[in-house]
């Protein structure tokens, strides 16, 4: 009986330790602008246009969800769902060939830009102490993108789904008991294009299970090939909750 009780206590203790490793990162806020969004579809033969320069964009609410599991305070495995849609309205100052359809200058047009992201990440923290946490790893990203131009005469879109490998990094500095400065993201560049998704901000430790964070996020990058030329820079005002179980 005593052995059984000890075994049950050990299992419960191990379960509590396992539960303490699970984390949720719930983030949301506003997409408040794009520095540029250069689009040419098809990549050879289409019209290159910066839709953020010629059309107006309204601030857009965004959210993203990350679930993670930490092992031995050094290894982190996480999954991210990050949907994103930006809508532009106005008129072009020139005729535009998009997806082999002509959109005439001065005609009202709307552009719907979707760039959803699904990621699986492994990170190893090679520094992990009371002040600093510094780590790096690898991210596998599934890109689900769609660009759509609509006016009274045409309704064309171009979808693109693909896999992108990225380098993940995290730097956290804790100067005191409650505050932490954070720089983290995924990024990689090659001859086929580039991608960066970077957050810089601060978090405030409320209790062992809850932190709040506030900061700025930028998504930048794109691709250049025969099918599509698209490079964009998107700005986010970001806030979120960091929950531990």
Q: Tell whether the model's pLDDT for residue 77 goes beyond 90.
A: yes
- Residue 104's CB is within 10 A of a number of other CB atoms, namely 15
Q: Determine, yes or no, domain membership for 12.
A: no
Answer yes or no: is 151 within a domain.
yes
Question: Is 158 a domain residue?
Answer: yes
- Residue 4 domain-assigned? no
Can you tell me the distance from the alpha carbon of 31 to that of 237, in angstroms, rounded to the nearest whole number?
A: 7
Are 222 and 192 contacting, i.e. CB atoms less than 8 angstroms apart?
no
Evaluate whether 206 touches 174 at the Cβ level (below 8 Å): no
Contact between 236 and 32 under an 8 Å Cβ cutoff? The reply is yes
Please state which of the ranges 65-74, 139-148, 233-242 shows the lowest mean pLDDT: 65-74
pLDDT digits (tens, 9 = 90+) for 151-170: 999 999 999 999 999 999 99
pLDDT at 195: 94
Among 202, 200, 208, 166, which Cα is nearest to 186's?
Answer: 166
Q: From the CB of residue 86, how many other CB atoms can be counted at a distance below 10 Å?
A: 22
- Assigned domain for 3 exists: no
Give the number of domains in the chain.
1
**Domain containing 201 — which CATH number?**
2.40.128.90
**Closest among 235, 230, 233 to 49, alpha carbons compared:** 230
3-state secondary structure of 192: coil
15 part of a folded domain? no
pLDDT of residue 10: 45
Average pLDDT over residues 78-100: 96
- How confident is the model over 12-55, as pLDDT tens digits? 454 444 444 899 999 999 998 889 999 999 998 999 999 999 99
Tokens of 230: 């698209």
Backbone angles phi, psi at 23, to 5 degrees: -135, 145
Query: Closest by alpha carbon to 169, among 151, 142, 146, 188?
Result: 188
What H or E segment, with its residue span, contains residue 242? strand 229-244
Domain membership of residue 80 (yes or no) is: yes
In a domain, 205, yes or no: yes
Give the range of the structural domain holding residue 136, as residue numbers without chain letter: 22-244
Model pTM? 0.87
Q: What is the pLDDT of residues 185-215, one digit of tens each?
A: 999 998 888 999 999 999 999 998 999 999 9
């Amino acid at each position: 009986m005593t052995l059984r009780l000890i075994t049950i206590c050990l299992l419960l203790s191990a379960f509590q330790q396992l539960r303490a490793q699970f984390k949720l990162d719930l983030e949301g806020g506003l997409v408040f602008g794009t520095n540029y969004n250069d689009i040419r579809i098809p990549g050879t033969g289409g019209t290159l246009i910066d839709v953020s320069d010629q059309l107006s964009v309204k601030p857009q609410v965004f959210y993203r969800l990350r679930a993670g599991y930490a092992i031995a305070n050094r290894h982190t495995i996480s999954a991210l769902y990050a949907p994103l849609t930006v809508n532009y309205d106005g008129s072009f100052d020139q005729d535009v060939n998009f997806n082999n359809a002509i959109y005439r200058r001065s005609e009202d047009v709307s552009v719907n830009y979707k760039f959803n992201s699904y990621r699986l990440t492994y990170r190893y923290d090679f520094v992990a102490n009371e002040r600093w946490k510094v780590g790096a790893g690898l991210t596998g990203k599934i890109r689900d993108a769609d660009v759509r131009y609509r006016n009274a005469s045409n309704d064309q879109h171009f979808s693109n789904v693909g896999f992108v490998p990225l380098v993940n990094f995290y730097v956290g500095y804790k100067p005191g008991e409650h505050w932490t400065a954070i720089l983290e993201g995924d990024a990689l560049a090659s001859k086929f294009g580039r991608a960066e998704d970077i957050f810089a901000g601060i978090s405030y430790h409320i209790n062992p299970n809850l932190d709040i964070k506030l900061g700025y996020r930028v998504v930048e990058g794109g691709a250049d090939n025969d099918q599509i030329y698209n490079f964009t820079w998107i700005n986010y005002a970001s806030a979120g909750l960091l929950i531990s179980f």
